[in-house]
Amino acid sequence: MRERLSKKRQMKVLVVDNEKGFASVLTNHLRRRKIEADSACSAAQALEYVRKFQPDVLVLDLQMPDISGLDVFRQIKVLDSTIEVILVTGNGSFDMVIACMQLGAFDYLMKPIDLNHFLDTITGAFENRMRALKERSHTFR
Protein backbone atom coordinates (compact mmCIF):
# COMPACT_ATOMS: atom_id res chain seq x y z
CA MET A 1 0.00 0.00 0.00
CA ARG A 2 2.90 2.38 0.73
CA GLU A 3 4.22 2.02 -2.81
CA ARG A 4 0.83 2.64 -4.38
CA LEU A 5 0.29 5.86 -2.40
CA SER A 6 3.77 7.18 -3.05
CA LYS A 7 3.30 6.72 -6.83
CA LYS A 8 0.08 8.72 -6.79
CA ARG A 9 1.49 11.70 -4.87
CA GLN A 10 4.85 12.21 -3.25
CA MET A 11 4.73 12.68 0.49
CA LYS A 12 6.18 15.91 1.92
CA VAL A 13 7.45 15.89 5.50
CA LEU A 14 8.78 18.75 7.63
CA VAL A 15 10.87 17.83 10.68
CA VAL A 16 10.95 20.53 13.38
CA ASP A 17 13.57 20.05 16.08
CA ASN A 18 16.06 22.45 17.64
CA GLU A 19 18.66 19.65 17.64
CA LYS A 20 20.00 20.06 14.10
CA GLY A 21 21.76 16.69 14.12
CA PHE A 22 18.61 14.84 15.12
CA ALA A 23 16.51 16.67 12.51
CA SER A 24 19.15 15.88 9.89
CA VAL A 25 19.11 12.14 10.72
CA LEU A 26 15.32 11.97 10.32
CA THR A 27 15.29 14.10 7.17
CA ASN A 28 18.06 12.06 5.52
CA HIS A 29 16.28 8.81 6.46
CA LEU A 30 13.17 10.05 4.66
CA ARG A 31 15.08 11.32 1.61
CA ARG A 32 16.80 7.94 1.19
CA ARG A 33 13.29 6.52 0.81
CA LYS A 34 12.44 9.07 -1.88
CA ILE A 35 10.25 11.13 0.44
CA GLU A 36 10.49 14.89 0.02
CA ALA A 37 11.69 16.17 3.39
CA ASP A 38 13.00 19.36 4.94
CA SER A 39 13.79 20.51 8.45
CA ALA A 40 13.40 23.59 10.62
CA CYS A 41 15.21 24.32 13.87
CA SER A 42 12.93 26.94 15.42
CA ALA A 43 9.24 27.66 15.70
CA ALA A 44 9.52 30.77 13.54
CA GLN A 45 11.35 28.83 10.84
CA ALA A 46 8.78 26.01 11.07
CA LEU A 47 5.87 28.38 10.51
CA GLU A 48 7.65 29.96 7.53
CA TYR A 49 8.39 26.51 6.04
CA VAL A 50 4.77 25.39 6.50
CA ARG A 51 3.69 28.34 4.37
CA LYS A 52 6.33 27.70 1.67
CA PHE A 53 6.86 23.92 1.73
CA GLN A 54 3.24 22.93 2.48
CA PRO A 55 4.03 19.57 4.10
CA ASP A 56 1.60 16.69 4.43
CA VAL A 57 3.15 15.57 7.71
CA LEU A 58 4.98 17.60 10.32
CA VAL A 59 7.23 15.98 12.92
CA LEU A 60 7.33 18.38 15.89
CA ASP A 61 9.67 18.30 18.86
CA LEU A 62 7.72 19.58 21.84
CA GLN A 63 10.79 21.16 23.46
CA MET A 64 11.49 24.17 21.26
CA PRO A 65 13.67 27.02 22.59
CA ASP A 66 11.61 29.97 21.37
CA ILE A 67 7.99 28.87 21.96
CA SER A 68 6.23 25.87 23.49
CA GLY A 69 5.48 22.89 21.28
CA LEU A 70 1.79 23.25 22.12
CA ASP A 71 1.77 26.84 20.82
CA VAL A 72 3.63 25.79 17.66
CA PHE A 73 1.11 22.98 17.15
CA ARG A 74 -1.81 25.40 17.47
CA GLN A 75 -0.27 27.90 15.05
CA ILE A 76 0.45 25.19 12.47
CA LYS A 77 -3.14 23.94 12.64
CA VAL A 78 -4.35 27.51 12.05
CA LEU A 79 -2.18 27.72 8.92
CA ASP A 80 -3.35 24.32 7.63
CA SER A 81 -5.75 22.20 9.65
CA THR A 82 -5.16 19.17 7.39
CA ILE A 83 -1.45 18.77 8.18
CA GLU A 84 -0.91 15.63 10.23
CA VAL A 85 1.37 16.34 13.19
CA ILE A 86 3.51 13.72 14.89
CA LEU A 87 4.91 14.85 18.23
CA VAL A 88 8.39 13.97 19.43
CA THR A 89 9.48 14.20 23.04
CA GLY A 90 12.59 13.13 24.83
CA ASN A 91 11.85 14.15 28.38
CA GLY A 92 8.39 12.83 29.06
CA SER A 93 6.43 16.07 28.71
CA PHE A 94 3.25 14.02 28.75
CA ASP A 95 0.90 16.86 29.74
CA MET A 96 1.81 18.65 26.52
CA VAL A 97 1.54 15.40 24.51
CA ILE A 98 -1.94 14.80 25.91
CA ALA A 99 -3.01 18.38 25.17
CA CYS A 100 -1.78 18.11 21.56
CA MET A 101 -3.39 14.70 21.08
CA GLN A 102 -6.69 16.14 22.29
CA LEU A 103 -6.28 18.94 19.73
CA GLY A 104 -5.81 16.45 16.90
CA ALA A 105 -2.17 15.36 16.72
CA PHE A 106 -1.79 12.10 14.79
CA ASP A 107 0.63 10.35 17.16
CA TYR A 108 3.67 10.85 19.34
CA LEU A 109 7.11 9.25 19.45
CA MET A 110 9.63 9.07 22.28
CA LYS A 111 13.32 9.79 21.71
CA PRO A 112 15.39 7.89 20.82
CA ILE A 113 13.28 7.05 17.78
CA ASP A 114 13.28 3.68 16.08
CA LEU A 115 13.63 4.63 12.40
CA ASN A 116 11.43 1.78 11.13
CA HIS A 117 8.64 2.75 13.54
CA PHE A 118 9.18 6.38 12.53
CA LEU A 119 8.68 5.53 8.86
CA ASP A 120 5.54 3.49 9.62
CA THR A 121 4.10 6.37 11.66
CA ILE A 122 4.89 8.92 8.93
CA THR A 123 3.26 6.68 6.33
CA GLY A 124 0.15 6.23 8.47
CA ALA A 125 -0.13 9.98 8.95
CA PHE A 126 0.22 10.59 5.21
CA GLU A 127 -2.43 7.99 4.40
CA ASN A 128 -4.74 9.58 6.99
CA ARG A 129 -4.25 13.01 5.42
CA MET A 130 -4.92 11.69 1.91
CA ARG A 131 -8.18 10.09 3.12
CA ALA A 132 -9.24 13.32 4.81
CA LEU A 133 -8.47 15.41 1.73
CA LYS A 134 -10.37 12.95 -0.47
CA GLU A 135 -13.39 13.07 1.86
CA ARG A 136 -13.21 16.85 1.96
CA SER A 137 -13.17 17.05 -1.86
CA HIS A 138 -16.25 14.80 -2.04
CA THR A 139 -18.02 17.03 0.49
CA PHE A 140 -17.49 20.13 -1.67
CA ARG A 141 -18.78 18.56 -4.89
Q: Delineate the domains of the chain, giving CATH numbers in brackets.
A: 2-130 (3.40.50.2300)
What is the average pLDDT across 31-39? 97
Is the sign of the CA dihedral 120, 90, 29, 130 positive or negative? positive
Phi, psi dihedral angles at 64 (to 5 degrees): -95, 145
Which helix H or strand E contains 6, and what residues bound it?
helix 2-8
- pLDDT, tens digit, for every residue of 69-121? 889 999 999 999 999 999 998 876 678 888 888 989 999 999 999 999 999 99
Q: Taking the model in full, what pTM does it have?
A: 0.88
Task: State residue 95's pLDDT score.
Answer: 82
